[in-house]
Structure formats: C-alpha cells, structure tokens
Amino acid sequence: MRQLIVNSTTEELIPTKDGDSLGWNGLSGSADILAVAEFAQAQDNLIVVVTADSSATERWSNGINFFAGNSASNSASNSATAAGNLDVLRFPDWETLPYDVFSPHQDIISERLSSLSQLQGKAKGVLSVPISTLLQKVAPTSYLGGACFNLACGQTFDVAEQRDCQDGSIELVVTRWDS
C-alpha cells in the first residue's frame, strides 16, 4: 500500500460502489494536483479531472506533468515523454460562442482530435477537461478512426494506404506542389 500526501492509502480513496463519493479536504496550493498525480500513478485506470474552465484545465495538465516527472509539459505535446511515466491529456474548450461566425483556432481543433484519438486505446493516465466541454457532444469513434491520422514532419505519406484505412467514408483529396 502506497501512502499518499493525504491521510489515506490509495485503496481507501477508491469508491467501493456506484454512487459513492469521496472528498479530499485541506489541500492548499498545488497539493491537490500532487495528490491527483500520485493517485493516478498508483492506479491502472484513466483518471478524469473535471475543471471549472479552460485556464484551470491548463493548470491541472501542466501541474500533473510536473509532478509526474514528465519533461517539456507544453500543451502541444499531449502525452508523456520518454522521461515521464504518466500520460496526461488535455481536452480543451472550443473557446468560441455558438453564434460566432468564425471557427475555433486550428491548434485547438488539432489538440481535441489528438486527445480523442489517444483516448481510444488509453487504459492509464489523466484526462483534464473543462465542465463546459464535457457537456458537449463529440464525433463518434467510428468517424474519428477514419478521419484522423498522425503525420510527422518528414514522414512519408502513403495515399493508397490512407484511402484503404478510411473505408471510403471520407474522400481523400491530394494536392501536389513543388517547393
């Protein structure tokens, strides 16, 4: 049994049945983030941290990355690095209003899609999400599987293979240009 910074062991902090709730009191400063980071490292499941707003989500993600020993905890890198031992994902808010005539920033869209695609196979880690974002609908996993792919700078992109992976659900248009 691992002793956390709170006066409980990890086994005592897990609800025993559905509907149970447990509270951590008396944690000041960043002690709440440290407690969640230690708790998440001791668990084999995904821990979801629901925050009040986007700035709190950023604070939690950066703090958990810090306490988990993950190096380079910037928001562009969603998961733990080789030095870290805990995957930390952030699912940001759209940061637009429903009646706005402009789309969310492409970095926000990319981070949301990246987080959703990483969540499909995730068994352990921490997901930080604002409550307003948690209440919104997201695309089904079947759509995300065919619509998202990771492409790194300098990586070779095989058009035929990508078309086969998408099962014809999305049209892939390729434009070639010389630089």
Q: How far is CA 84 from the centre of its chain?
A: 15
| Residues 129-153 pLDDT 10s | 999 998 888 878 777 766 666 777 8
The predicted structure's pLDDT at residue 3: 46
Query: Which one is the CATH code of 10-139: 3.90.1150.10, 3.40.1000.10, 3.40.50.11180, 3.40.1670.10?
Result: 3.40.50.11180
Given a cut of 50, is residue 66 above it in pLDDT? yes
Token digits of residue 136: 């919104």
| Residues 95-120 pLDDT 10s | 887 788 888 888 888 888 888 888 87
Q: How far is CA 164 from the centre of its chain?
A: 28
Backbone angles phi, psi at 126, to 5 degrees: -130, 135
Most confident of 5-9, 22-26, 63-67: 63-67
Are the beta carbons of 58 and 52 closer than 8 angstroms?
no
The predicted structure's pLDDT at residue 168: 55
Given a cut of 70, is residue 68 above it in pLDDT? yes
Q: Where are the domains of the chain?
A: 10-139
Q: Is 45 exposed, middle or buried (0-12, 13-18, 19+ CB in 10 A)?
A: exposed
